[in-house]
């Protein structure tokens, strides 16, 4: 079996084995069978409200000009402004953005945030851009999207290939054109210009919380639990660090080059994250090294795929030896693999619940921007914990009452809220 080696990224990702749109539509159909929802609503949810495509010209450092294609898919806004990341990646296209924007709709609904789903990006390899080029490209992209975004309309955030600085440039360009400082147009900014404390660590923190709750639910103790984490970017590294802090035994972590493994447990705090020092995992002392395929098949209690999408496929689903999979990345499990894992009794805690801390703290950031009142890190983490536990309990109720997988249960919670909102607002005209 071969899989694309995971790239480290700040939020999430996927490759093109199954397009995100195909998977998202299949998951919607499957979940709709468990909810009393009007067929018309399901049909509406299969289609995005709009997908904006723009040309983004860039003057390179040598004076030449290249033109890139940018997108913003706005899936649904029945519960509030569209919300979701902007990614810079060569595989960005309209279908991928649409599928990812659908996942954002469910993610915001499962967390009961007053947002809909959006996702966008530019088809570009960010590593091919100098810092100045990235800034110019981002500013022009902000200008091209100016008419479809805004703090009450559509609020972008970081994703693969973008970060807090990208959001700062984006916010600055938008604000300059609007003639006033509007921090709430994007989230994931540096705290000095209206970003929230704890936003960067949030997807990893929520992934760790989801893992902790799942371990407890299946009658295990954190102190006796072994964990493997694929990907050591912000999601994987923060999840691994917290789980270690809470007493779990993190035995293996990986980055794009491969994994290190110590059955007695690694010293996670000593391993630099991708942001601190890129591709440093294999430089650490450890008794064994593994490939990125092998880490997925380790016999551990909890496996956290937190790198790119489509890493658990029909080809390796039978070889996943973990009892619990917690999806730190967006879409790490293909639709076919999901069915195999379910049949084998492997519990999968889905991305739309597990990594939802990112967008949840984005919501806190948006509130802070609108209210012009900064929250402390303690406040942010306390509210995040409480939002995660509320969502966890809602999903757990569906798991128990309808005997569903955690993914189907999370979809049921999300879809019920969205369908009720659509029915209450009605179809106009």
- Give the whole-angstrom CA distance, residue 134 versus residue 297: 38
What's the Cα-to-Cα distance from 124 to each of 19, 57, 186, rounded to whole Å? 18, 12, 21
Scanning 78-86, 126-134, 222-230, 255-263 for contacts with ligand GLU by CB under 6 A, the matching segment is: 78-86
Of 34 and 374, which CB lies nearer to ligand GLU in the complex structure? 374
Scanning 16-24, 82-90, 235-243, 289-297 for contacts with ligand GLU by CB under 6 A, the matching segment is: 82-90
| 330 makes contact with ligand GLU (CB under 6 A) | yes
The C-alpha torsion from 415 through 416 and 418 to 421, rounded to 10°, is 170
| 14 makes contact with ligand GLU (CB under 6 A) | no
| 85 makes contact with ligand GLU (CB under 6 A) | yes
Of 340 and 352, which CB lies nearer to ligand GLU in the complex structure? 352
Residue among 150, 34, 22, 156 at smallest CA distance from 83: 156
Token couple for 247 = 């007493």
Q: Decide: residue 55, CB within 10 A, 0-12 exposed, 13-18 middle, 19+ buried.
A: exposed
Binding-residue pattern over the window 144 to 163 for ligand GLU, x denoting contact by CB under 6 A: -------------x-x----
Tell me phi and psi for residue 157, to 5 degrees.
-155, 175
- Tell me which of 9, 11, 14, 144 binds ligand GLU, using CB under 6 A: 11
Taking the complex as a whole, how short is the minimal distance between the CB of residue 357 and ligand GLU, in angstroms? 9
| 359 makes contact with ligand GLU (CB under 6 A) | yes
Of 3 and 187, which CB lies nearer to ligand GLU in the complex structure? 187
Angle separating helix axes 377-402 and 202-217, nearest 10 degrees? 40
Site for ligand GLU, residues 362 to 421, rule: CB under 6 A: 362
Of 85 and 126, which CB lies nearer to ligand GLU in the complex structure? 85
Taking the complex as a whole, how short is the minimal distance between the CB of residue 186 and ligand GLU, in angstroms? 9
Nearest residue relative to ligand GLU (C-beta): 85
For 181, residues 6+ apart whose C-beta sits below 8 A from its C-beta are 175
- Give the whole-angstrom CA distance, residue 8 versus residue 100: 18
Burial 159-188 (b: 16+ CB within 10 A, else e): bbbbbbebbbbbbbbbbeeeeeebbbbbbb
Of 94 and 104, which CB lies nearer to ligand GLU in the complex structure? 104
* DSSP H or E run through 157: strand 154-158
Token couple for 65 = 């000009």
| 213 makes contact with ligand GLU (CB under 6 A) | no
Of 120 and 258, which CB lies nearer to ligand GLU in the complex structure? 120
CA dihedral over 248, 259, 241, 406, signed as positive or negative: negative
- Tell me which of 139, 358, 406, 409 binds ligand GLU, using CB under 6 A: 358
Q: Which of 83, 119, 189, 387 is catalytic?
A: 119
- Give the whole-angstrom CA distance, residue 215 versus residue 208: 10
Scanning 297-305, 358-366, 389-397, 407-415 for contacts with ligand GLU by CB under 6 A, the matching segment is: 358-366
The distance of Cα 97 from the centroid of its chain, to the nearest Å, equals 13
Of 107 and 274, which CB lies nearer to ligand GLU in the complex structure? 107
Catalytic-residue membership of 134: no
| 187 makes contact with ligand GLU (CB under 6 A) | yes
- Tell me which of 3, 7, 8, 12 binds ligand GLU, using CB under 6 A: 12
Taking the complex as a whole, how short is the minimal distance between the CB of residue 224 and ligand GLU, in angstroms? 31
What's the Cα-to-Cα distance from 425 to each of 65, 79, 81, 334, 419, rounded to whole Å? 47, 10, 15, 34, 10
Total residues in contact with ligand GLU, by rule CB under 6 A: 14
Beta strands 288-290 and 302-305 are unpaired
- Give the whole-angstrom CA distance, residue 203 versus residue 358: 4
| 338 makes contact with ligand GLU (CB under 6 A) | no
- Give the whole-angstrom CA distance, residue 361 versus residue 53: 28
Residues that bind ligand GLU (CB under 6 A): 11-12, 83-85, 107, 157, 159, 187-188, 330, 358-359, 362
Which residues belong to the active site? 119
């Amino acid at each position: 079996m071969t899989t694309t080696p995971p790239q480290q990224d700040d939020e999430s990702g996927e490759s093109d084995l199954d397009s995100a749109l195909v998977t998202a539509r299949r998951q919607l159909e499957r979940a709709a069978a468990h909810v009393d929802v009007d067929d018309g609503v399901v049909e509406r949810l299969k289609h995005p409200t709009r997908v904006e495509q723009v040309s983004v010209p860039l003057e390179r450092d040598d004076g030449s000009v290249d033109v890139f294609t940018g997108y913003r898919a706005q899936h649904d806004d029945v519960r509030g402004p569209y919300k979701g990341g902007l990614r810079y990646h060569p595989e960005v296209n309209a279908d991928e953005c649409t599928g990812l924007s659908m996942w954002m709709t469910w993610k915001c609904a499962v967390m009961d945030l007053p947002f809909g789903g959006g996702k966008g990006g530019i088809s570009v390899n960010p590593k091919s851009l100098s810092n100045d080029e990235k800034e110019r490209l981002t500013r022009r992209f902000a200008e091209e999207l100016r008419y479809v975004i805004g703090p009450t309309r559509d609020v972008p955030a970081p994703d693969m290939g973008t970060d807090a600085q990208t959001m700062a440039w984006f916010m600055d360009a938008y604000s300059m054109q609007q003639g006033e400082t509007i921090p709430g147009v994007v989230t994931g900014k540096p705290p000095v210009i209206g970003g929230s404390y704890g936003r960067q660590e949030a997807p990893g923190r929520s992934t760790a919380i989801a893992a902790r709750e799942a371990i407890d639910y299946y009658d295990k103790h954190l102190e006796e639990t072994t964990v493997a984490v694929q990907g050591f970017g912000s999601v994987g590294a923060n999840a691994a660090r917290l789980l270690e802090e809470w007493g779990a035994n993190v035995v293996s972590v990986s980055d794009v080059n491969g994994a290190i493994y110590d059955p007695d447990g690694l010293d996670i705090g000593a391993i630099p994250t991708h942001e601190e020092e890129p591709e440093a995992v294999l430089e650490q002392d450890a008794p064994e090294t593994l490939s990125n395929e092998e880490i997925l098949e380790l016999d551990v209690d909890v496996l956290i795929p937190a790198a790119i999408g489509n890493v658990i496929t029909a080809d390796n689903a039978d070889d996943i030896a973990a009892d619990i999979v917690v999806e730190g990345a967006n879409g790490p499990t293909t639709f076919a693999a999901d069915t195999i894992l379910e049949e084998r009794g492997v519990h999968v805690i889905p991305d739309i619940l597990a990594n939802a801390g990112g967008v949840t703290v984005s919501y806190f950031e948006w509130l802070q921007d609108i209210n012009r009142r900064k929250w402390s890190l303690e406040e942010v983490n306390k509210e995040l914990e409480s939002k995660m536990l509320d969502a966890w309990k809602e999903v757990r109720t569906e798991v128990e009452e309808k005997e569903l997988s955690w993914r189907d249960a999370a979809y049921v919670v999300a879809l019920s809220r969205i369908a009720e909102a659509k029915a209450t607002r009605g179809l106009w005209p």
